[in-house]
Chains A and B, each alone.
Chain A
Amino acid sequence: MSLPEAPLNRDPSAPGADMSRRSFLRTSAVLASGLAALAASLSPLRDLDDYTSLDRFMQKYYKELTPQEMDRVLKRIANDVEREYGVRPHVRDLKPMDGVEFVYALNLTRCIGCRKCVHACVQENNQSRTPEIQYIRVLRMPHGSLDIEKAEHNYAPESVPEKGYFYMPVQCQQCKNPPCVKVCPVHATWQETDGITVVDYDWCIGCRYCEAACPYWARRFNFTKPSIPKERLNPDMAYLGNRPRRQGVMEKCHFCIQRTRVGRYPACLEVCPAGARKFGNILDPNSEVSYILRTKRVFIQLKEELGTSPRFFYYFDV
């Protein structure tokens, strides 16, 4: 059976002169019902509460915002947070300090795998609890091997540390040569002068190419609207740091930018009971991280062979 055709000198697209009223009504009925089905198919959008207002839609790239525009943006963020959580936050845009390059050193002899750093980070940085977003992942490794295939993510013994294992927390390594920055199609993530690789949450389009590119599995995506319990909201916020994110954007460890750029230690370091975490300015020869890199002889930079030059140094004492 085939598409029938009219004699050739006839416009095949024009309806015939004797097209009956019935067939016209039939055709219109099909079109009308089709349009109704189209409109109905979009009905779930009634529940869209994450719609974008005009100034949010038009918001410029972070590096192009003038100070006045940034002020407006910060005020808007503060208003949004207050409306959502009932807490008036203090939102700042902190710039990197001069003469500062951050480095993190982690003592693998001391880490006991208690995961307090994971949860302190979640608390400090207003991460979603359900679904769960945690920037730090603590790996339990067997003695004698750095083979990541042997890592255990879900250890849950009665007490840590367990004999025969050591523990290695992994978070964003703030690489000097970051693959995530290279692949982001819109420059939503970049490295600042103090070494922190930041994300402009209002610029990210959520393509997740950076998540595929990161060799340390350090980046997290908001698969749905993040849920932060009101009573645990940290109101001390920074634009590039711990202000609440939206559905569909990437986030990751930013060395607690709201703390470190005012000179404080990051939350993971403060909570570590064993003092395994060390942080500071590598350009300052008197900092503890300079001392560590000077005196400790064996360092591990994870996946060093990939050429990412991470700013995270793992070392052993004994």
Chain B
Amino acid sequence: MNRALRDYLVFLQRCGRIAFVGDRRYYAWMGALTVLCLVGLNAYAKQLVHGLITTGMSDQVSWGVYIANFTFLVGVAAAAVMMVIPVYIYNNEELHDLVIFGELLAVAAILMCLAFVTVDLGRPDRFWHLIPGLGQLNFPASMLSWDVIVLNGYLLLNVHICGYLLYCRYRGRKPSKWFYIPFVFVAIGWAVSIHTVTAFLYVGLGGRPFWNSSIVGPRFLASAFTAGPALMILALQVVRRVTASAPALGSSGHAAAPGTSSARPATLDDLEKLAQHLPEFRPVPMEMRRKLLASTTILSVPAGATLLRQGDLDAHAFFVLEGEIVVKREESGRLRITRTIRPGGQFGEVSALNSTPRMATAIAEEPALILRVPVEDLRRLMQQRELGQVIHNRMTERLMITDRALLTLRGIVQVSMLINVFLLVNEVFKEFYSGDLHSESSKYLFLGLHGYHALVPWIWTAIVFNLVAMFLLVLPLSRSLKWLNLTCVLCITGIWIEKGMGLVIPGFIPTPLGQIVEYRPSVNETLVCIGIWAFGLLAYTVFLRMSVPILQGRLSRANEGRHLPAAGSEQRAAPARL
């Protein structure tokens, strides 16, 4: 038990340490975000002293950008988990590891939501009144009480799923399905619920006809599933851009010379060695092992040797007996490590089984001993139940952000934006065609009311952005990353405006007594918002900084505590920069 706790603490310590380690761009980015966070914190300190008078809110417009950002971010958090559906329900393997990035985005978004709600409270020192048991949580009558429960539950759910999967990957262990699959399915339903509950906050208010409409809930979900995956598309490309590319190996003169590898037929001892590292191989009967000896080969390769190349057509799979192999994939002109393979691991099996060109290049990191298996033998081996299962599961353990994955996300954004625009048309028709007294708020938003029109340019900008994005999404033009990125930016901005200010503020104008008092966020309020956004980006960057090396296999139990030898030693001595 103590051992397990110690191991976990070491894991946390390494994750914590790695957050402070990076290159100049990392320091510049984190430094800038920290500055913005501190500016925001300072602004909030002023708000604590003077009260919410430091914001632009009033009794007439009693919710402002804090709640607007909260509403938008709940949608992002809900949608980030919607990437989970293609993977777990439709078995889209390409998105598998990306699910973790989606859930980490959800965690960062929920943290931002909680921060926005906290800064909006008039008496945050009384937060404990919300804790059921300690305080007086008005559940189930108050939708805010539901929101408190579902948001915190969602946070715990995603922290558990990500933490568990990452820790298992760190330890090189296969995650136990029961510890995460049920939670994943709960998370899918929970994601829909957090956003529906947030919508119900508004829908349930009979005194505010702008919000008291059944279309608000569906619109929330549609706009969330547009903005969330759009954010994911952008975030994944950033991850792709900053994750490790191929370094020049063997820098201090120990350049590997390919060609000094040797091949020989495999022996029973070799297979026994494999069984040591791959326990599921043990049940393979001796008869089958003898049959394998005929077709399998042992390759002995030095560091730097290329074992397979991306794009080649080859019908072999490989198992590692000794040493370390790194697999790198070239995508959009960049070479990225997708994973690291240690003794007992496999590579090359996917393209061999599917008869497709190699998806990546495998290079020996250190001198290695590899077992090369023809694909027919591999198929026969996989008929062994346990072995087949482990080989199959490992086929998905790689960090690949393929363009196809991005295009799958584009598909989600496309459908959601179409639905979103359709719902907008519905809403506009209802408000303006019958033209009753209850549409004063919509008039204020779209046309201006009695000479007050502060929001009109904003909402029309949002509508133009959304429509342009919708057309771009429908056209094949947006399959190219450049146009897709523009489209995503348009989606996110358009939806942030229409779901944030475009939803919250018109609900208060005019007041239930017909008064019109407009709202503009104050300097202090804006600084607090910027601070919280910076905090969210900071959190997400830290999460990525911790999870990417784990998923690539570079931060794992196997290399715990392996420090560099002192300078001047003969071994590969990469000087410190990290």
The interface residues of chain B lying within 8 Å CB-to-CB of A44 are 42, 45-46, 48-49
- Determine if B138 and A185 form an interchain contact, defined as CB atoms under 8 angstroms apart: yes
Interchain CB contact (< 8 A) of A41 among B45, B51, B577, B578 = B45
Q: Smallest CB–CB gap between B244 and chain A, Å?
A: 4
CB-nearest residue of chain B to A247: B51
A-B contacts besides A4-B577, A209-B144, A306-B207, 14 pairs, CB < 8 Å: A6-B574, A8-B553, A11-B561, A44-B45, A139-B514, A148-B514, A153-B515, A185-B137, A186-B137, A203-B136, A207-B144, A214-B207, A217-B511, A248-B122
A307 to B207, CA, bound (A): 10
Q: Smallest CB–CB gap between A152 and chain B, Å?
A: 9
- Determine if A17 and B22 form an interchain contact, defined as CB atoms under 8 angstroms apart: no
Is B575 part of the binding interface, using a Cβ–Cβ cutoff of 8 Å?
yes
- Determine if A149 and B510 form an interchain contact, defined as CB atoms under 8 angstroms apart: yes
Given contacts A170-B513, A215-B207, whether A45 and B49 have CB atoms under 8 Å apart is yes
Give the total of B residues in contact with A, Cβ under 8 Å. Answer: 102
- Determine if A47 and B437 form an interchain contact, defined as CB atoms under 8 angstroms apart: no
CB-nearest residue of chain B to A46: B49
- Determine if B17 and A183 form an interchain contact, defined as CB atoms under 8 angstroms apart: no
Q: Which of A151, A187, A222, A246 has the most CB of B within 10 A?
A: A187
Residue numbers of A with Cβ under 8 A of B are: 1-19, 23, 27, 30, 34, 37-38, 40-45, 47-48, 50, 52, 57, 61, 131, 137, 139, 147-151, 153, 170, 179, 182-188, 203-209, 211-217, 219-225, 246-250, 303, 306-308
- Determine if B365 and A306 form an interchain contact, defined as CB atoms under 8 angstroms apart: no
Is B267 part of the binding interface, using a Cβ–Cβ cutoff of 8 Å?
no
CB-nearest residue of chain A to B50: A224
Is B264 part of the binding interface, using a Cβ–Cβ cutoff of 8 Å?
no
- Determine if A4 and B206 form an interchain contact, defined as CB atoms under 8 angstroms apart: no
Given contacts A5-B554, A153-B515, whether A14 and B563 have CB atoms under 8 Å apart is yes
- Determine if A212 and B564 form an interchain contact, defined as CB atoms under 8 angstroms apart: no
A203 to B122, CA, bound (A): 12
- Determine if A147 and B437 form an interchain contact, defined as CB atoms under 8 angstroms apart: yes
Interchain CB contact (< 8 A) of B245 among A2, A148, A179, A183 = A2
A115 to B244, CA, bound (A): 72
CB-nearest residue of chain B to A211: B62
Provide 11 A-B residue pairs closer than 8 Å at the C-beta atoms, listed in order of the A residue: A3-B26, A10-B562, A11-B559, A11-B560, A15-B578, A48-B48, A179-B206, A211-B62, A215-B512, A217-B60, A248-B122
The interface residues of chain A lying within 8 Å CB-to-CB of B574 are 6-7, 10, 16
Interchain CB contact (< 8 A) of B48 among A45, A151, A250 = A45
Interchain CB contact (< 8 A) of A187 among B138, B340, B440 = B138
The interface residues of chain B lying within 8 Å CB-to-CB of A40 are 42
CB-nearest residue of chain B to A306: B206
8 Å CB interface, B103-139 against A: 117, 120-127, 129-130, 135-138
- Determine if B17 and A13 form an interchain contact, defined as CB atoms under 8 angstroms apart: yes
8 Å CB interface, B307-326 against A: 324, 326
Q: Smallest CB–CB gap between A28 and chain B, Å?
A: 11
Q: Which of B46, B62, B144, B249 has the most CB of A within 10 A?
A: B62
- Determine if B365 and A223 form an interchain contact, defined as CB atoms under 8 angstroms apart: no
Q: Smallest CB–CB gap between A141 and chain B, Å?
A: 10
The interface residues of chain B lying within 8 Å CB-to-CB of A184 are 138, 142
- Determine if A4 and B247 form an interchain contact, defined as CB atoms under 8 angstroms apart: yes
Q: Smallest CB–CB gap between A136 and chain B, Å?
A: 11
Interchain CB contact (< 8 A) of A6 among B42, B52, B129, B578 = B578
Is B387 part of the binding interface, using a Cβ–Cβ cutoff of 8 Å?
no
Is B21 part of the binding interface, using a Cβ–Cβ cutoff of 8 Å?
yes
- Determine if B563 and A17 form an interchain contact, defined as CB atoms under 8 angstroms apart: yes
The interface residues of chain A lying within 8 Å CB-to-CB of B575 are 16, 18
Is B506 part of the binding interface, using a Cβ–Cβ cutoff of 8 Å?
no
- Determine if B512 and A217 form an interchain contact, defined as CB atoms under 8 angstroms apart: yes
- Determine if A34 and B512 form an interchain contact, defined as CB atoms under 8 angstroms apart: no
The interface residues of chain A lying within 8 Å CB-to-CB of B130 are 185-186, 205
Q: Which of B31, B42, B124, B143 has the most CB of A within 10 A?
A: B42
A131 to B58, CA, bound (A): 10
The interface residues of chain B lying within 8 Å CB-to-CB of A209 are 142, 144, 201
A185 to B408, CA, bound (A): 40
Contact with A along B21-48 (1 / 0, CB 8 A): 1110110000100110011011001101
A26 to B566, CA, bound (A): 21
Contact with A along B349-367 (1 / 0, CB 8 A): 0000000000000000110
Is B539 part of the binding interface, using a Cβ–Cβ cutoff of 8 Å?
no
Across the A-B interface, the 5 shortest Cβ-Cβ residue pairs: A206-B122, A16-B576, A215-B207, A248-B122, A13-B18
